[in-house]
Amino acid sequence: IDVPSPEELAIQKEGRNILISAFSKLTADQNMACTLFYLEGMSQIEIAETMDTSLDAVESLIYRGKTKLKSIIKTLQLNSSL
């Protein structure tokens, strides 16, 4: 069994904190769609049914959320390395 070193655990915790912070900066609908898609593994059709919206809307929410997450994470990583 591989046990992570304290340094590896610190890096994992920092990464988790960056993700939590990034997701919190999305709109409520983007956060919900991206959480269900990326973290819960739901299909876009399942998300549309869960959110009571169209498949096109879900596709848009995920695309915009992913784009915004990339930008936010890049900024947060730059700030945390200073």
Report the predicted TM-score, pTM, of the whole model to 2 decimal places.
Answer: 0.80
With tokens 């700030």, the residue in question is 79
User: What's the distance, CA 47 to chain centroid?
Assistant: 15
In terms of C-beta density within 10 A (0-12 exposed, 13-18 middle, 19 or more buried), how is residue 19 classed?
middle
> CA 33 → CA 56, 64, 79, 81, distances in Å?
12, 10, 27, 29
Confidence of residue 65 (pLDDT cuts 50, 70, 90): very high
More confident residue, 25 or 7: 25
Whole-number pLDDT of residue 5:
86
Confidence of residue 82 (pLDDT cuts 50, 70, 90): low
